[in-house]
């Protein structure tokens, strides 16, 4: 499932980096911290690889 916003894509990238041991889990904040805990590496990859070009900056609320 692709990311729905640029913010979501960035948070997934940060969480993925921590999952892979490239950054510390303690450096994560907010959405990236909860994504780290609740999503698998494969799920994070799907979100993080989404092209940001056509995404809104933030997800709109319905």
Distance CA 35, CA 14 (A): 9
Tokens 């995404």 map to which residue?
55
Tokens 């989404």 map to which residue?
50
Closest CA to 14 of 61, 1, 37, 4: 37
Question: Given this model, what pLDDT does residue 62 score?
Answer: 63
Q: How far is CA 62 from CA 6, 59, in A?
A: 18, 9
Written as tens digits, the pLDDT of the chain (62 aa) is 788 899 999 999 999 999 999 999 999 999 999 999 999 999 999 999 988 888 888 877 76
Q: What is the pLDDT of residues 48-61, one digit of tens each?
A: 998 888 888 887 77
């Amino acid at each position: 499932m692709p990311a729905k916003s640029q913010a979501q894509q960035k948070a997934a990238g940060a969480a993925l980096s921590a999952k892979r041991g490239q950054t510390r889990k303690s450096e994560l904040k907010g959405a990236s911290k909860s994504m780290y805990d609740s999503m698998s590496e494969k799920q994070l990859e799907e979100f993080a690889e989404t092209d940001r070009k056509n995404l809104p900056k933030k997800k709109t609320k319905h």
